[in-house]
Amino acid sequence: MEETVEDPPTSAVLLDHCHFSQVIFNSVEKFYIPGGDITCYYTLTQHFIPRRKDWIGIFRVGWKTTREYYTFMWVTLPADLNSESAKQQEVQFKAYYLPKDDEYYQFCYVDQDGAVRGASIPFQFRPENEEDILVVTTQGEVEEIEQHNKELCKENRELKDSCVSLQKQNSDMQATLQKKQEELETLKSINKKLEQTMKEQKDCWETELLQLKEQNQKMSSENEKMGVRVDQLQAQLSNQGKEMEKLVQGVQDKTEQLEHLKEENGQLFCSLTEQREHQKKLEQTVEEMKQKETTAAKKQQELMEPRNKKTAVEELLVQEVEHLKAKVEAGKACFLEKYKECQRLHKQIRQLRAATRQDQKSQQEPMGMGSQEPPVSTVIG
């Protein structure tokens, strides 16, 4: 994995709070020869799950926090954590980034929270010496080695020159990197301000949108209420129109009945006048008959000698008296019946007049018009 300029996640957690048993480092040498790349082999334990920002650093022995790393490499996430091959992992450190002294160092696995999950045994960066290896050579081999050493020295000088050139390039690149980082920080600051402005604008738009939605809901509710009210008013207006038609028709019917009653009242008045005249004539006739009856009775008493004998004249007078009595009684009964019917008609006229006044009074408010009681003649018996 290539090393990037991004700093790894670290923490100030002390060694007492680290867990060194979750990642195990394998095949760690006692020392590594300077000038060459080294490969770090490690094994993930069963319950440990690596994450994207985990890294392996080279620390000088005696370190206190994960911020004291010398160099680091990002770990590679396995494709399948459940496979056996996913547990065996490795990273390669380039020679250029390795320490140049002979101090003791060790590999440490650090997760993205900055906590140490595993550490290797200490090792050094130094060349092999006579204490490490015993070589038995011949004269020819010595000459061959000397020749090889000369070539190595030459190559070493070339590498030193190349190293100087690379250091100069590295210095230039560091300056360029510093400039790019400053530009990046400027862009980050501008981006942060733009994000803040966009967030404020978004909040403002969301607030306005919420207000518009509330206004829209309120207007929709009011429109629905107005629609219901309009329907109610239309239905009420239709009902009032029908009631008005009924009232107008009722007034017309009452007016016709009143005119008809006026005609009947006039007829009854004439009939009552005739009945009164006839009654007067009957009373005069009865009075005359009573006088005749009295006169006849007197004559009967004078002329009647034996009480058990009656003349034809007396019999005739008696019959005439009885007939006159019957006519008087019949006239009285007819007069009484006509009088009762006249009283009943007067009562109906008063009821119709009161009903007409009530109808006209109830029509004044919806019609906005005054009512005038039709003229009705009153007959007093």
**pLDDT truncated to tens, each residue of the chain (381 aa)?**
444 457 888 876 555 556 778 999 999 999 999 999 999 999 998 888 899 999 999 999 999 999 999 999 999 988 777 776 667 899 999 999 999 999 999 999 999 999 999 999 999 999 876 555 554 556 776 777 778 777 878 877 787 787 678 778 877 888 888 889 889 989 999 999 999 999 999 999 999 999 999 999 999 999 899 999 999 999 988 998 898 888 889 888 888 888 888 888 888 888 888 888 888 888 888 888 888 888 888 887 777 655 555 566 667 888 888 888 888 888 788 878 888 888 888 888 888 888 888 877 776 665 554 444 445 444 444
What pLDDT is recorded for position 68? Answer: 94
Pairing of strands 38-44, 23-26: antiparallel
Query: So what's the pLDDT on residue 4?
Result: 46
Query: Residue 72's CB: how many other CB atoms inside 10 A?
Result: 22
- The values of phi and psi at residue 27, to 5°, are 55, 45
In a 3-state reduction of DSSP, which class is residue 331? helix
Distance CA 333, CA 328 (A): 9
3-state secondary structure of 24: strand
Tokens linked to 134 = 């015993």
> CA-CA distance, 209 to 212, in Å (whole number)?
5
Show Cβ contacts of residue 111 under 8 Å, excluding neighbours closer than 6 positions.
9, 50, 51, 53, 54, 117
φ/ψ of residue 117, rounded to 5: -110, -10
Contacts of 279 (CB under 8 A, 6+ apart): 331, 335
In angstroms, the CA 153 to CA 376 distance is 151
Measure the CA–CA gap between 376 and 361, rounded to whole angstroms: 18
- Counting every residue, how long is the chain? 381
Strand extents, DSSP E, the chain: 23-26, 31-32, 38-44, 55-60, 69-74, 88-93, 104-110, 116-119, 123-125
Q: How many CB atoms are located within 10 Å of the residue 311 CB?
A: 11
318, containing H or E segment: helix 312-367
| Gap between the Cα atoms of 72 and 65, Å rounded | 14
Token representation of residue 42: 């490690």
Give the CA angle between residues 64, 68, 73 to the nearest 5°. Answer: 125
Cβ atoms of residues 341 and 381 within 8 Å? no
Whose structure tokens read 């008609």? Answer: 345
Query: pTM of the entire structure?
Result: 0.36
- Three-class secondary structure of residue 18 per DSSP: coil
For residues 88 and 223, what is the distance between their CA atoms, to the nearest angstrom? 72
Cα 324 from Cα 337, distance rounded (Å): 20
Q: Which amino acid is at 253?
A: D
Q: Distance (Å, rounded) from C-alpha 40 to C-alpha 74?
A: 12
